Structure 1
Amino acid sequence: MSIGVKALAASYANLQTTGHNIANANVAGYSRQSAVLTPTPGQFTGSGYFGRGVDVAGVTRAHDAFLVREATGARSVASMDAARLARLQQLEGLFPPGEQGLGHAVTQFFDAMTDVTTQPGDLSARQVVLARAGDLASQFRRLGAAFDTLQGGVGADLQTAVADVNALARNVADLNARIVAAGALGQPPNDLLDQRDQLIARLAAHVQITRIDAGDGSAGLFVAGGQSLVLGAQANALALQPDAADPSRSALAISSGDAARTLDPRALGGGDIAGLLQFQNEDLVAARNLAGRLGAALAGAVNAQQKLGLTLDNAAGGDLFALGAPRALPNARNVKDPVGAPIGQVALTVVDPSRLQASEYDLRADPSNAGRWLLTRLADGKQTSIAGGDTVDGLRIDVGPGMPQAGDSFLLQPVTRAADGMALALGDPRGIAAAAAGTPVGALGSDGGNAAALLALRDAGIVDGRSAADAYAQAMATVGLQVQSGRTSAQLSTAAATQADQTSASVASVNLDEEEARLLQYKQSYQAAAKVLQVAQSLLDTLLQAARA
């Protein structure tokens, strides 16, 4: 009779587990469960071992840890590429071709100069030049403002993602505690394990996770090459803070108690946070510098040529354009004086706008040359050992008067903010220096020698050997190539993530057709077990009746 009871219990366990599978077939992240049955050890008699039925050893879930880790990692990379691509596509829209682009504004400015070369004394022609110059400067400023808007959007998205990571990490830590407590009873809490896997999968969409499972059933989660995010029932928190090199940018940190450690964005590996930081630190910076170099080189060439001519009032020409000044930003960790100001100082002066590069630079003490400085061009990693006052890439770098201290570093931005501050510096059309130097006073209204030289700048290699129009076309092409590369990466990583998810799901997901077949099988087993119990009861009744007789 006990065999029948055990058989009924085993069949009921199978039916219950199958019903649970069917009920959760459409629940995301649910893993198919199975009752584990083992034969009850046989009883020895003189005639041999006789079976004693079956025991329900537990309930397991269909789970392949390797496939889950592969799918989680692939999902992180796909999320990173998708986040970066979305921002790159927005960036591409800031460099339009045709009449909406900077190239057209440059062409209109130089075309307006054509009338001044033929009619130097015509104030209306001169006014058109100023209007076109003002339009050009405004377009550069709008582009700079659009960059700032993009940066603001990246910051907002980072805040949202970080808040989500912290909430998910706390939930994983809570589940760790519940899983450890439930596992102490001797059986794995499968549904809780599925919930935790789902939370970790959502975490991986934000930041790449390294997972280490402990013997007590808890899962340790680590980010950025080993920084603990979740350890047992304890969760640390991510936070955003101003970047030490440029406070207008966001940096990611992880806090444990009162201490916070800045994370290297290159070590994040995946997740939309990594994609957003890569866009902020690389793609957006590169685009700013492309636009800034174009504006600085164009304004520098026009201003220099202006100063070589004479105005209608027989004065030397002055600047036509104003620009955002080059910046040398001291790192937030640099040594400071008692009032909190950095001791070390660096000043930048543009001496040859045509040689400016679309790059930022890192400046710090040269470890192999005492008294010299190591300048690293961040766009390509080129390093140059310099002394204070040296000129590199058209930029003079002066160190002091406050001398940098040991360990100090500076982020040099020759053109990063040039477009932001571009403006028309001349308001009087008579101030356009159309006449060549040495022109007699009586001929100032008829000499267009310097205006012709200004017009010639249209086709001159004023932007690192290229004309202004060609430089803008190159900027469009550069951004377009970034978008194309980002799109390819996103397509490949999305396909890889989809394949990894499908492979993992093929092991863990519920197949309703299979579950239906199992229901029929377990129903028959249940009926057979009931029959065994019925027969055993009948035999027992017969024996009891015989004993009474």
Structure 2
Amino acid sequence: MSIINIALTGLNANRAGLDVTAQNVANVNTPGYSRQQAMYAAIGPGSPLANSAGGGVEVTSIRRVSDAFVVKQTWATQSQASYSSRYLSNMSQLESVMGADSFNISMGLDNLYAALNDASVKPESAPLRQQIISEADALTRRFNTLSESYYSQHKDLSDQRTAAVELSNSLLVNVADVNKRIVEMSATSGNPSHLLDERDALIGQLSELMSIKTNMQPDGSMQVTLASGQPLVIGDQASQLKAVPDPADPYLADMEIDFVGQRFPINGDIGGELGAITDYQVDTLLPFRKSLDDMAVAFADAFNNTLATGQDLNGNAGQPLFAYDPTSPSSSLKITNLQPEELALSSDGTPGNSDVLTSLIGLSNQTFAVTGYGNISISDAFTSMVGDTAIKARQVSSDAKAADNLNSQAIAVKENLSSVNSDEEAANLMVFANAYQANMKVISTANNLFDTVLAMF
């Protein structure tokens, strides 16, 4: 009887709906899970008769509730939020260093000039001369520790880049593997929803490391490229990201893509955490270290040159108090073995004469060429560096908050669309259960009718 066959299709269809709902409820707390829907279609009449109602219902597919545009927006905002977060973390570390008293170059200069002023009262005093040497030594240590802090962060950023590259390559291989499994399952009319969720999660992690673009292919695979166009994943083939050390600085690197033996340089901004690491090194950290080197060289040379115009207490020509390695001035700056009596504070060696000492004191107001700050006194240059760090840190913090808000909004839109709603699924359970019971009732009624017909004979 057709009534039974129709009811049986209803039983199967609503059982499928119950299965889908059960799957959704089971994964209500599964991160990245996209809810599913059973898609129904009426089965047409099996005969051309005008009074044939139809053949029942069938489940045409299991739909994964997701929107490609919304997902791409999530990835794009995730890249920017990750970039801003990483940059802010680095800037906060730099701001903390620049604000520490033990690293304050201006404070060290003030202490040295105070010692020079004290010595001007009695320039031949051995203790006062020793105080000058001691404060000069303390100043060099401030330069050293600040420079080493820059160097340490520079090295840490290189290590972070290495770790990010390794993670990126692992994610690319996994995306390619999931692509392959999706294509295989789609070819056999299977339901690849769980694989699509897995792929979205992997690409989401990848978007934190770099800015990406994606393009869905007819076979179900997803092509992934950098925002600048270099291939990352095509079908089941994955690229390998490489960081090639800069010959002039092993902690800097040029990024490139190796795809099936072809090399693609990454000349533009790679975005994400990897972009933030390089941009911070190039745009902030290295310029600051260059400015610090300029200050160390300018001050040490000016001080030594001034001493060279005088004589010490023994009548000998003035010798330098500071020494440094030209390849890394601020980190190598130190005092020489000059003894107190060897400080040439007088132009003629007379114990009471302090004309050279006066010239040394005058260096506090002398201007020097410092990269990024023009002609400026050493103390003002460092103060400007501290101020620039604070201003940039505030700007980066503001950018990070804005990027995080945009990412949170994009995630909220995605979750509102794709995540499981417990109340909605509870209602679906009732609907499908009632429909299932109704179809069972139809079958029962059909059996009763059939029995009644048989009883007539």
TM-score range with shorter-chain normalisation?
over 0.9
Pair 1:130 & 2:158 matched: no
Instruction: Give the counterpart of 1:454 among 355, 360, 366.
Output: 360
Say if 2:431 is the partner of 1:521. Answer: yes
Q: Which amino acid aligns with 1:28?
A: P
Q: Matches of 1:322 and 1:459 in 2, distance apart?
A: 22
CA–CA distance in structure 2, aligned partners of residues 248 and 32 of structure 1: 45
Q: 2:345 aligns with which of 429, 434, 437?
A: 434
Whichever residue aligns with residue 275 of structure 2, its letter is A
Distance 1:151 1:272 in 2: 15
Q: Which one-letter code corresponds to 1:296 in the other structure?
A: V
**Are 1:311 and 1:431, in contact at CA under 8 Å, matched by a contact in 2?**
yes
For normalisation by structure 1, the TM-score amounts to 0.79
Write the distance in 2 (CA, Å) between the matches of 1:462 and 1:277. 30
CA distance in 1, matches of 2:252, 2:291: 18
Q: Any idea what the Cα deviations from partners look like across 1:76-116, whole Å, max 9, x if unmatched?
A: 10001101110111111221255652211111111111133
The residue type equivalent to 1:472 in the other structure is: F
| Partner in structure 2 of residue 96 of structure 1 | 99
Runs (5+) with no aligned partner, structure 2: none
Aligned mates of 1:261, 1:519 — CA distance in 2: 53
Q: Distance in 2 between matches of 1:42 and 1:432?
A: 111
Q: Which residue of 1 aligns with 2:402?
A: 492
The TM-score, its normalising length taken from structure 2, stands at 0.94
1:248 to 248, 251, 270: 251
Task: Tell me the equivalent position of 1:394.
Answer: none
Q: What is the CA-CA distance between 1:182 and the residue it aligns to?
A: 0.2
Q: Does 1:169 align with 2:169?
A: no
Secondary structure of residue in 2 paired with 1:310 = coil
Query: Deviations along 1:356-415, whole A, 9 cap, x unmatched?
Result: xxxxxxxxxxxxxxxxxxxxxxxxxxxxxxxxxxxxxxxxxxxxxxxxxxxxxxxxxxxx
Read off the aligned partner of 1:455 and give its amino acid letter: I
Taking every aligned residue pair, what percent have the same amino acid on both sides?
A: 28
Tell me by how many angstroms 1:179 deviates: 0.2
What is the CA distance between 1:543 and its match in structure 2? 3.2
Q: Give the corresponding residue for 1:315.
A: 316
Q: Secondary structure at the match of 2:445?
A: helix
SS state at 1:50 partner: coil
Secondary structure of 1:221's aligned partner? strand
Cα displacement (A) at 1:460: 2.5
Q: Equivalences for 1:180-329 in 2 at 5 Å?
A: 180-223=183-226, 225-258=228-261, 260-264=263-267, 266-268=268-270, 270-326=271-327
More helix by share: 2
Distance 2:263 2:336 in 1: 46
For the residues of structure 2 that align with 1:323 and 1:100, how far apart are their CA atoms?
Answer: 18
Determine which of 147, 151, 155 is the counterpart of 1:148. 151
Q: Deviations over 1:242-289 (max 9, x none)?
A: 12453332332322345544423x421x31111111111221112212
- The alpha-carbon deviation at position 48 of structure 1 amounts to 4.0
Specify the SS of the correspondent of 2:376: coil
Count of aligned pairs: 450
Structure 1: tracts of 5 or more residues without a match: 327-416
Deviation at 1:541, TM superposition (A): 2.9
